[in-house]
Structure 1
Amino acid sequence: MSGRRLPTVADLLADKGKGQKTMLRYFSLDEAAAAEAAGIDIASVPDDILFHPRYRDAAPTVFSMTGRTHLEAGTPDDYLRWAAEAMNRGADAIYCSGSFDTVEYLANEYIPVVGHVGLCPARATWTGGFRAVGKTAESALKLMHDVKRYEDAGAFAVEIEVVPEEVASEITRRTGILLWSMGAGPGCDAQYLFANDILGYTEGHIPRHSKIYRDFAAEFARLQQERIDAFATFAADVASGAYPGEKHLVRMNPAELDAFREWLEHT
């Protein structure tokens, strides 16, 4: 969008309380370009997409984070080495589902860190599986404490996932860092959805907090049938001799062809 520039962490923090940002998880350069054109503010991006040499051509002003869970990253030193590489290759921030000590370790080296509370898939066994978190006063208070621990550890933002709206709103008002809502209501600093849910091509369970805006699944199915039909027509043309046709061929000058054939007869 014209007039936009890539925001810094300081810019995002300065905007806290001034309305909600938009945030996507997307999976291709085409989706990145669409997010840029649509004016999306923040994105969570798989590292193979964010590190692509054309990523910033596609999304020059989308604040883009990538990350690894604590199950993937290894030790704090491993996490730091990977985070430094990611920042050098274009990431604006790093998602970390590791311990508060690991978050602090990264933040002390000036890595912009995003934490995660509520339903965190990599830690879901500790909160009862894939279900809402914070529906009791006790569990809501623990969420508040966890967000404050992230703040004390140096994180600048926290994804808050599948938490009662009232709880997320109260926590957001009581912290200086950013809360990015995935199914936690409109009282946070950003609304976060997956592109595959918005575009309607999620396979399997559709999260309650998702909203489908387009039916790409039907379009993908139509395109797949078009592929099948095209390939089948090609195979039929080969079988019948319809392909290749005259326009697909390279022809030789007849005199050169006669000379070639004569040489073949004498060699």
Structure 2
Amino acid sequence: MSTFTIDSATSRATPTPVPGKRMTVPAIRARKAGGTSAEPLVMLTAYTMRTAQLLDPHCEMLLVGDSLGQVIYGLPSTVPVTLEMMCAHGAAVVRGSWHALVAVDMPFGSYEGSPEQAFASAARVMKETGCAAVKLEGGEAMAPTVEFLTRRGIPVIGHVGLTPQAVNVLGGYGARGKSEAEAAKIVGDAKAVADAGAFCVVVEGVIESIADAVTKAIGVPTIGIGASANCDGQVLVTEDMLGLFERTPRFVKRYADLASEIGAAAAAYRDEVRARAFPSAEQVYRAKP
């Protein structure tokens, strides 16, 4: 099991809960009423305890995305990500949060084989992390699996449009829905997973008008990423939003430039170490007279 009690006397990893109640699946679902969401849902990715602590007060949902394969492990895609990775990082994010609903991505190969395989994988994720939901990619083909899971007590977030786990079939990460046939399929996929029981649906990398059509077509919230401001919520990879990478995808707005700040801090540390200015008297231990 990945969950455990942290010794608050020795560890930095000591989240201080603020009185309140964690967001629930019904609460997220209820944010869309009568086909509209009065206040958009805020979701960001988190892979570590400390990041979860910092983001939690500002988000309704934290997503432990399989994008950690690229962001944390430097992998070329999300395809090599394992259940073990997702469970370890998912547990850390749950430990670092108290308010947001935490959802964990199902990695490639852990759910596509059959609904039974998906249940075994999802049950493991929920047991080992304490998360409230799982997310899986795919549309109409995955609808029976979504229904199988939700009927057995596992809340599911759907994911349609650009599905990164299928990058080898799609041939890249370009926007989807440029043809009428593909646009119709994306809308149909969203309807299928929503009808199967998904309590919200991520819509990624699609032509804006398609995201608008999906949002109007389904009764559960849509969470856009490279989609439309009219979606019922938005999600970004936190490291992209914070400017930690040189490349910024078209659909990302940089809200900070932490890469430059970290580089400057490391350079200042280097200079002080080489000048023997660090550690100074304030950072060393001396025997008391």
- Going from structure 1 to structure 2, the CA distance change for 1:165 and 1:74 (only over 3 Å counts) comes to closer
1:211-239: per-residue Cα shift (whole Å, max 9, x none)?
A: 101110011111222343354356x99xx
- Going from structure 1 to structure 2, the CA distance change for 1:226 and 1:73 (only over 3 Å counts) comes to farther
Specify the SS of the correspondent of 1:188. Answer: coil
Question: Given residue 260 of structure 2, which amino acid in structure 1 is its aligned partner?
Answer: A
Query: 1:74 deviation in Å?
Result: 6.8
- Equivalent runs, 1:111-126 vs 2, <5 Å: 111-126=154-169
Would the aligned equivalents of 1:118 and 1:162 in 2 still touch at CA under 8 Å?
yes
Match of 1:41 among 60, 63, 82: 60
Question: Given residue 15 of structure 1, which amino acid in structure 2 is its aligned partner?
Answer: R
- Please, which runs of 5 or more residues in structure 2 have no aligned partner? 1-16, 65-85
User: Could you tell me how far apart the structure 1 residues matched to 2:118 and 2:131 are?
Assistant: 14
User: Could you tell me how far apart the structure 1 residues matched to 2:267 and 2:112 are?
Assistant: 43
CA RMSD of aligned residues (A): 3.0
- Going from structure 1 to structure 2, the CA distance change for 1:4 and 1:170 (only over 3 Å counts) comes to farther
- Equivalent runs, 1:18-29 vs 2, <5 Å: 18-29=38-49
- Going from structure 1 to structure 2, the CA distance change for 1:167 and 1:247 (only over 3 Å counts) comes to closer
User: Could you tell me how far apart the structure 1 residues matched to 2:191 and 2:207 are?
Assistant: 18
2:118 alignment counterpart: 79
Query: 1:111 deviation in Å?
Result: 0.8
Query: 1:9 deviation in Å?
Result: 1.2
2:75 alignment counterpart: none
- Equivalent runs, 1:31-110 vs 2, <5 Å: 31-37=51-57, 39-45=58-64, 46-52=86-92, 55-56=93-94, 58-72=96-110, 75-76=113-114, 77-88=116-127, 89-97=129-137, 99-100=141-142, 101-110=144-153
User: Could you tell me how far apart the structure 1 residues matched to 2:248 and 2:31 are?
Assistant: 31
Query: 1:249 deviation in Å?
Result: 6.5
1:6 alignment counterpart: 22
Specify the SS of the correspondent of 1:51. Answer: helix
| Identity across the alignment (%) | 28
User: Could you tell me how far apart the structure 2 residues matched to 1:178 and 1:126 are?
Assistant: 27
1:212 alignment counterpart: 254
For these two proteins, the number of residue pairs brought into alignment is: 241
Q: Which moved more, 1:186-195 or 1:67-76?
A: 67-76
Would the aligned equivalents of 2:212 and 2:230 in 1 still touch at CA under 8 Å?
yes
- Going from structure 1 to structure 2, the CA distance change for 1:56 and 1:91 (only over 3 Å counts) comes to closer
Would the aligned equivalents of 1:96 and 1:116 in 2 still touch at CA under 8 Å?
yes
Match of 1:166 among 201, 205, 209: 209
Q: Which moved more, 1:68-77 or 1:188-197?
A: 68-77
Compute the TM-score of the two structures, normalised by the length of structure 2.
0.73
User: Could you tell me how far apart the structure 2 residues matched to 1:117 and 1:31 are?
Assistant: 26
Question: Given residue 173 of structure 1, which amino acid in structure 2 is its aligned partner?
Answer: K
Query: 1:250 deviation in Å?
Result: 9.6
User: Could you tell me how far apart the structure 1 residues matched to 2:226 and 2:285 are?
Assistant: 57
1:156 alignment counterpart: 199
Flag the structure with higher helix content: 1
User: Could you tell me how far apart the structure 1 residues matched to 2:22 and 2:285 are?
Assistant: 50
User: Could you tell me how far apart the structure 2 residues matched to 1:3 and 1:137 are?
Assistant: 49
Question: Given residue 167 of structure 2, which amino acid in structure 1 is its aligned partner?
Answer: A
Question: Given residue 251 of structure 2, which amino acid in structure 1 is its aligned partner?
Answer: H
Report which of the two structures shows the higher radius of gyration computed on alpha carbons. Answer: 1
Would the aligned equivalents of 1:197 and 1:212 in 2 still touch at CA under 8 Å?
yes
Q: Which moved more, 1:208-217 or 1:132-141?
A: 132-141
Would the aligned equivalents of 2:161 and 2:186 in 1 still touch at CA under 8 Å?
yes
Query: 1:182 deviation in Å?
Result: 0.3
